[in-house]
Structure 1
């Protein structure tokens, strides 16, 4: 059931969208989150390269990285030199585009090489089904299949209010993701822990001024929208200390 507490999380996120009080700087965005423009992420000369400004080590933006052992919503080594935080809503079409296109390439090229760690944050902005999807993803993670749920949920775009993330819908996705104990899944989905986790993630996004989904922080550097994979490659390569030695 969609509780008042869960409603308050989404209301806070929507308020952040309306107010637009961004504290992130140096944004890479095409304006609509599509990432289709050829100039997305281009440097001052239109080269297509990101111009990353140094972020002081003491900047609190670095504290958002959790590096928690056995975090079911994280992918990659805890000590990877580059950490990308992903804020996403499972009803967001642009988030789905990233999940189906860019995400697998980054995993193959950087996560498997030990260079990149991806930490997912639930950022539900499209109402009750977004909240249920976020809680369901967390519940799947409790059985070690968050990323399988991520893939199943984003396999096709879900329009707002489509019913894809109804009570029956999330159970079907859990089964497709390989959740072993569906009864436990249903209990975890409705648990206080699920709500607290989603609220923690959503509040984090609101606090730093995330306005749209998907949004990313790569070692503290913001990238907004479903950008081309080259935008992510450029940022990761610049931020990987080992790349300077090659």
Structure 2
């Protein structure tokens, strides 16, 4: 992923606005609140870093140690807050698969030129869907996080456009069927991929891909990733727990088991 941005807090409060400029003061206050909110999330992940399981800065090698630890994790409150901040659980989200009320949500931040993202899609995603999504345990929510230049941005917008016609996952899997970079993600090539993925209205697809709504949607996903300190692709949050890279299946299984146990414990406690 690309270099992260962080909110800076702790600066002295804004000076008293000059008379006759209430709108400027209001704008500064709104911005300060947004920065403070982003800073709070960043602080959560800083604490996760201190616990030794932060999102790694590499590009996704398989030699990292598993991030899952014991079920009675002292950082559980942090994971819960991160999960609430990042998951959307929207019923009509075309870029999500799984029940909105599934006990565990996996949020994936990925780039379509990222070879490790493709590896995850081909090797782990099908098994995760069969074992956990289809059984109601897991929901996967995809976030476009293009960091490798214009081809990545164009592909991200195209995936959003495919989603507008209910073919996001088909298009997503088609792009990741093999490593595609540069000219392989030119607009006409993306239209061809959309056709293969079953997108019916290709004129609408092309229009949506180049529209402001697609740009805004991709920007929203990017800002969420940057806001929590994501710095490489693919990166995942499993019930709020960071997992970096295209890890072996056992890594995801361990993280899902822990997140599920934590969700069940919270549910039992709430029912008392």
Range into which the TM-score falls when normalised by the shorter chain = 0.7 to 0.9
2:155 pairs with 1:129: no
The TM-score normalised by the length of structure 1 is: 0.82
CA distance in 2, matches of 1:28, 1:211: 11
Compared with structure 1, are the counterparts of its residues 60 and 54 closer, same or farther at alpha carbon in structure 2 (3 Å cutoff)? closer
**CA positional deviation for 1:174:** 0.4
Asked whether the equivalents of residues 60 and 232 of structure 2 are also in contact (C-alpha less than 8 Å), the reply is: no
2:193 paired residue number: 173
The TM-score normalised by the length of structure 2 is: 0.75
Asked whether the equivalents of residues 40 and 227 of structure 1 are also in contact (C-alpha less than 8 Å), the reply is: no
**CA positional deviation for 1:34:** 3.3
Aligned Cα RMSD in Å? 2.5
2:168 pairs with 1:146: yes
2:101 pairs with 1:79: yes
Asked whether the equivalents of residues 60 and 244 of structure 2 are also in contact (C-alpha less than 8 Å), the reply is: no
CA distance in 1, matches of 2:126, 2:86: 24
The structure with the largest helix share of the pair is 2
Structure 1 residue runs of 4 or more that deviate by more than 4 Å after TM superposition: 28-31
Does the residue aligned with 2:105 lie in a helix, a strand or coil?
Answer: strand
**CA positional deviation for 1:54:** 1.1
5+ long unaligned stretches in structure 2: 6-38, 266-272
Match among 228, 239, 243 for residue 208 of structure 1: 228
CA distance in 2, matches of 1:30, 1:190: 33
2:133 paired residue number: 111
**CA positional deviation for 1:59:** 2.8
Match among 255, 259, 266 for residue 239 of structure 1: 259
**CA positional deviation for 1:219:** 1.2
Match among 2, 5, 16 for residue 4 of structure 2: 16
**CA positional deviation for 1:76:** 0.2
CA distance in 2, matches of 1:58, 1:92: 28
Asked whether the equivalents of residues 55 and 220 of structure 1 are also in contact (C-alpha less than 8 Å), the reply is: no
**CA positional deviation for 1:32:** 3.2
5+ long unaligned stretches in structure 1: 1-12, 43-48
2:62 paired residue number: 36
Compare CA radii of gyration and give the structure with the larger one: 2
**CA positional deviation for 1:50:** 3.3
Does the residue aligned with 2:4 lie in a helix, a strand or coil?
Answer: helix
Match among 92, 100, 108 for residue 114 of structure 2: 92
Asked whether the equivalents of residues 137 and 149 of structure 1 are also in contact (C-alpha less than 8 Å), the reply is: yes
